[in-house]
């Protein structure tokens, strides 16, 4: 299976933005949802996941934050690289510059042409530790979800084949986009102007609720501590209306999480490979389209399926009441998207914590 083990350069879909200078920690701490100060306190390189928000608490851009410099603790000159979807790179640079004052000692530069980003799938935590020992690269487990493997940052000339066993981790181009859908991880333009909790960003270790104030923090914190989440982003297997329903969904009707199964990526991949749905049926599905259940709007398309290659998994923003409260895959699974009908089978990725069906939040936090 192409999502089992392999490696892939993903630089073509990413923008890499360097931030350096004595004020870079404070500057990022005030704008990014992860705790930049905590990362900066450790002199070693590191990787975190975060999100930039507007003043209204809406997503501007999810981002990885690489701390690249081997700084000693006395140094004030920290160096960071933001790793964002290329579709949002220019907009993010504009956003950063809009908050940079003339006397702010931080340098912002697009370094995409000089750096590269790679993913190694099927790699273990131990492999990530080994990657840290190679001086020419920085490598860490993807902080959002371990199924995405080890993420590697290096110079544009980096050839991973010089550092890994290619017979164990063969070239696997296109796998990142498949795994991103299977794991339920919208990105880029799919996320803009959405609420971060409805995109599951707090489940992806992308929001630190203990760090204090940053742009967009107030609404996000209030929703997390007091509100009820009525919508979430769910990965969904799309089938033809007449196709056989996999047993995982039939069996889930009697289980705790509202009638949807909890699945790991390899199992979803098996169902995807077994699907007989024609690729051409996915061509018309695009980000932002409404998902209709009968005549009622049930949600929106975030991440469309990949028609090329027959990847019939999409990420849809769906109302919790339609998915995790007594969902019946036979009665409730037929939806209309872009004027075509599909059987939509949402599932809970196995990296999610247990979800409180009343609050839409992780069970422990939902009871607070």
Residue 218 has pLDDT above 70, yes or no: yes
Mean pLDDT of 76-99: 92
Helical H segments across 183-298, by residue range: 217-226, 247-252, 265-274
Helical H segments across 89-169, by residue range: 89-98, 125-131
Read off the pLDDT band of 137 (50, 70, 90): confident
For residue 118, what are the contacts with CB-CB under 8 A and spacing of at least 6?
Answer: 7, 8, 9, 10, 11, 151, 152, 154, 158, 160
Distances (CA, A) of 5 to 9, 121, 171: 14, 5, 9
Distance of alpha carbon 94 from alpha carbon 106, whole angstroms: 14
Distances (CA, A) of 297 to 281, 289, 317: 21, 11, 11
Q: pLDDT: is 326 or 302 the higher one?
A: 302
Summarize pLDDT for 165-217 with one digit per residue, the tens.
Answer: 777 788 889 999 999 999 999 999 999 999 999 999 999 999 999 998 999 99
Distances (CA, A) of 231 to 54, 234, 357: 20, 9, 11
Distance of alpha carbon 174 from alpha carbon 189, whole angstroms: 19
Read off the pLDDT band of 342 (50, 70, 90): very high
DSSP conformational letter for 329:
T
CB of 136 within 8 A of CB of 47? Answer: no
Summarize pLDDT for 84-95 with one digit per residue, the tens.
Answer: 999 999 999 999
Residue 102 has pLDDT above 90, yes or no: no
Distance of alpha carbon 335 from alpha carbon 323, whole angstroms: 12
Among candidates 57, 96, 23, 14, which has minimal Cα distance to 214? 57
The pLDDT of residue 129 is 72
The pLDDT of residue 136 is 76
Distances (CA, A) of 141 to 47, 67, 171, 199, 242: 9, 14, 19, 21, 40
**Residue 222 region by backbone torsions, left for phi larger than 0, else alpha for psi between -120 and 50, else beta:** alpha
CB of 343 within 8 A of CB of 239? Answer: yes
CB of 348 within 8 A of CB of 265? Answer: no
Summarize pLDDT for 255-282 with one digit per residue, the tens.
Answer: 666 678 999 998 998 888 887 655 557 8
Quick one: CA dihedral 335, 337, 343, 346, positive or negative?
negative
CB of 345 within 8 A of CB of 253? Answer: no
Distance of alpha carbon 223 from alpha carbon 210, whole angstroms: 15
Counting Cβ atoms within 10 Å, is residue 340 exposed (0-12), middle (13-18) or buried (19+)?
A: middle
């Amino acid at each position: 299976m192409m999502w089992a083990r392999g490696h892939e350069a993903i630089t073509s879909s990413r923008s890499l933005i360097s931030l350096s200078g004595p004020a870079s920690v404070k500057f990022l701490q005030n704008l990014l949802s992860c705790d930049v100060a905590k990362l900066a306190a450790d002199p070693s390189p590191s990787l975190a996941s975060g999100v930039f928000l507007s003043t209204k608490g809406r997503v501007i851009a999810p981002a990885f934050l690489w701390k690249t410099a081997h700084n000693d603790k006395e140094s004030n000159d920290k160096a960071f690289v933001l790793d964002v979807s290329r579709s949002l790179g220019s907009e993010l640079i504009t956003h950063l510059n809009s908050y940079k004052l003339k006397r702010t000692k931080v340098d912002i530069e697009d370094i995409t042409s000089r750096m590269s980003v790679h993913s190694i799938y099927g790699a273990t935590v131990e492999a990530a530790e080994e990657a840290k020992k190679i001086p020419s690269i920085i490598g860490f487990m993807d902080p959002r979800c371990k199924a995405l493997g080890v993420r590697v940052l290096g110079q544009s000339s980096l050839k991973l084949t010089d550092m890994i066993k290619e017979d164990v981790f063969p070239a696997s181009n296109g796998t990142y986009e498949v795994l991103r859908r299977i794991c339920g991880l919208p990105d880029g333009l799919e996320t803009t102007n959405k609420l971060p909790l409805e995109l599951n960003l707090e489940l992806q270790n992308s929001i630190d609720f203990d760090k204090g104030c940053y742009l967009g923090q107030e609404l996000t914190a209030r929703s997390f501590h007091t509100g009820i989440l009525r919508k979430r982003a769910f990965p969904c297997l799309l089938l033809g209306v007449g196709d056989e329903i996999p047993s995982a969904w039939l069996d889930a009707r009697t289980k705790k999480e509202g009638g949807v199964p909890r699945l790991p990526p390899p199992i979803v991949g098996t169902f995807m490979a077994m699907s007989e749905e024609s690729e051409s049926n996915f061509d018309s599905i695009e980000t932002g389209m409404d998902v209709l259940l009968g005549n009622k709007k049930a949600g929106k398309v975030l991440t469309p399926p990949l028609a090329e290659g027959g990847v019939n998994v999409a990420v849809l923003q769906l109302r919790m009441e339609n998915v995790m409260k007594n969902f019946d895959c036979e009665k409730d699974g037929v939806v209309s998207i872009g004027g075509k009908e599909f059987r939509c089978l949402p599932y809970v990725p196995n990296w999610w914590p247990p979800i409180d069906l009343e609050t839409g939040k992780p069970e422990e936090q939902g009871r607070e």
